[in-house]
């Protein structure tokens, strides 16, 4: 059985892209609190790339995998 490799570009965007609106405007996506991501999960993630990134980050945080982003944050 072969597992898909994570897309490094998505991980890079999670640590470099900032939230474009709302309560956490200008906060790097990777630093958004899980409670905010849970709210989006209940209400619906935005359309497009931002929604995909937020949904991915939600899954990462939900599963305790934020350590995957740490090396990228340190660069």
40-74 tens-digit pLDDT:
999 999 999 999 999 999 999 999 999 888 888 87
Percent over 90 (pLDDT), the chain: 76
- Going by C-alpha positions, the residue among 64, 60, 53, 3 that lies closest to residue 28 is 53
Which residues, in sequence order, are bridge partners of residue 18? Answer: 28
Q: What is the pLDDT of residue 6?
A: 65
* Domain residue spans of the chain: 8-18+25-73
More confident residue, 74 or 1: 74
- On whether the pTM is more than 0.85, the answer is yes
Res 50: pLDDT:
97
């Amino acid at each position: 059985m072969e597992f898909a490799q994570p897309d490094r570009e998505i991980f890079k965007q999670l640590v470099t892209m900032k939230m474009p609106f709302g309560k956490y405007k200008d906060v790097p996506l990777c630093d958004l609190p899980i409670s905010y991501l849970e709210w989006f999960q209940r209400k619906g993630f935005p359309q497009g790339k931002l929604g995909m990134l937020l949904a991915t980050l939600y899954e990462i945080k939900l599963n305790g995998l934020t350590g995957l982003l740490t090396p990228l944050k340190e660069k």
